[in-house]
């Protein structure tokens, strides 16, 4: 990781190397932390943060589910993100707000812990690599089951969830795949470890509903809106494992991965190896996040120098 200049911590911009916390920070031990992943991208009018307000709304909803009281308003944190991008001075970056139970008390009960908030940003290319754009990725259905709302709220972007995601990711990589696909406890397709999934069959686009145990992705929501513009038929419904194998096209969606074609699942080629509808969506998505689609400029928060 390449160091940038500043990180925002509890209201102050500190130097990158000084952004440190105590080893007995509660959230580090018990996973009581919620976070976001946001992208700032270059546009013809300079750097712009994509759907900042929507990400911040999800951040506060995640905190609410864990009864974390954040001592800043969404507006203050949005402004801090913008200011951070400005201070770090690079046109494209990934922005990571995190709220966590801080140092002070140990034990499983986080109720008496102060909630600290930090925002970092760094340079991050395509999470699934360059090939994910051109050729598409190879995925495998994981032996690990996606957490469900009887264990942890899947719709909260909580650090603890990523212990489950990490197991699935490691297993897939060890088996020589690029990415995992997790099923839920009912055996239906949920999502990837850090991205949602879409299927296209007979020119109809579909994705698992929120009730399948997914994180409601902001890219997922973006794709759904773009598909409607492209007059692609769409519905949300459960997807079975075998429907993955027999799909015409499959793709992942997420802030870090963008829209990434899936060319193979468990050794089976998807469709004929061509992705006409996915590529249409990918192109419109890329143009949208890079400020080239006027009607979606409402999704961009500009960072003036
Ligand atoms: N699912 C999980 C588990 C994720 O971590 C992410 C990334 N935040 C997503 C889906 C996609 O969400 P988004 O499009 O908002 O990045």
- pTM higher than 0.75, yes or no? yes
Q: What CATH number has the domain spanning 6-122?
A: 3.30.470.10
Of 38, 42, 53, nearest to 299 by C-alpha is 53
89: left (phi over 0), alpha (psi -120 to 50) or beta: left
Q: Which residues line ligand 1 (CB under 6 A)?
A: 37, 165, 191, 194-196, 215, 217-220, 253-255
Q: Which of 52, 189, 215 to mutate to test the pocket of ligand 1 (most atoms within 8 A of CB)?
A: 215
The Å distance, Cα 194 to ligand 1 centre, comes to: 5
Give me the DSSP letters along 119-149: EEEE----TT-THHHHT-EEEEE-SSPPP-T
Q: What is the CATH number of domain 131-289?
A: 3.20.10.10
Print pLDDT tens along the chain (305 aa). Answer: 999 999 999 999 999 999 999 999 999 999 999 999 999 999 999 999 999 999 999 999 999 999 999 999 999 999 999 999 999 999 999 999 999 999 999 999 999 999 999 999 999 887 777 777 788 999 999 999 999 999 999 999 999 999 999 999 999 999 999 999 999 999 999 999 999 999 999 999 999 999 999 999 999 999 999 999 999 999 999 999 999 999 999 999 999 999 999 999 999 999 999 999 999 999 999 999 999 999 999 999 999 87
Q: Where are the domains of the chain?
A: 6-122, 131-289
Name 39's bridge partners.
Answer: 94
């Amino acid at each position: 990781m390449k160091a940038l200049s500043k990180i925002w911590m509890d209201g102050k911009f500190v130097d990158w190397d000084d952004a440190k916390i105590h080893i007995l920070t509660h959230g580090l031990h018990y996973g009581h932390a919620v976070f976001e992943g946001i992208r700032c991208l270059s546009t013809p009018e300079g750097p712009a943060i994509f759907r900042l307000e929507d990400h911040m709304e999800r951040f506060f909803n995640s905190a609410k589910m864990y009864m974390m009281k954040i001592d800043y308003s969404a507006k203050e944190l949005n402004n801090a993100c913008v200011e951070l991008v400005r201070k770090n001075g690079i046109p494209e970056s990934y922005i990571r707000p995190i709220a966590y139970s801080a140092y002070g008390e140990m034990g499983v009960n986080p109720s008496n812990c102060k909630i600290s908030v930090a925002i970092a940003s760094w340079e991050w290319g395509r999470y699934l690599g360059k090939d994910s754009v051109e050729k598409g990725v190879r995925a495998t259905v994981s032996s690990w089951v996606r957490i469900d709302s009887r264990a942890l709220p899947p719709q909260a972007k909580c650090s603890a969830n990523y212990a489950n995601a990490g197991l699935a990711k490691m297993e897939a990589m060890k088996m020589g795949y690029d990415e995992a696909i997790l099923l839920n406890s009912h055996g239906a397709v949920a999502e990837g470890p850090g991205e949602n999934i879409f299927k296209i069959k007979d020119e109809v686009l579909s994705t698992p509903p929120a009730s399948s145990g997914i994180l409601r992705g902001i890219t997922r929501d973006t794709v759904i809106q773009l598909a409607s513009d492209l007059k692609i038929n769409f519905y949300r419904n459960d997807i079975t494992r075998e429907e993955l194998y027999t799909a015409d096209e499959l793709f992942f969606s997420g802030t870090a991965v963008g829209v990434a074609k899936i060319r193979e699942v468990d050794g089976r080629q998807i469709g004929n190896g061509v992705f006409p509808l996915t590529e249409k969506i990918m192109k419109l998505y890329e143009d949208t996040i890079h400020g080239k689609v006027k009607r979606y400029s409402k999704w961009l928060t500009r960072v003036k120098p």
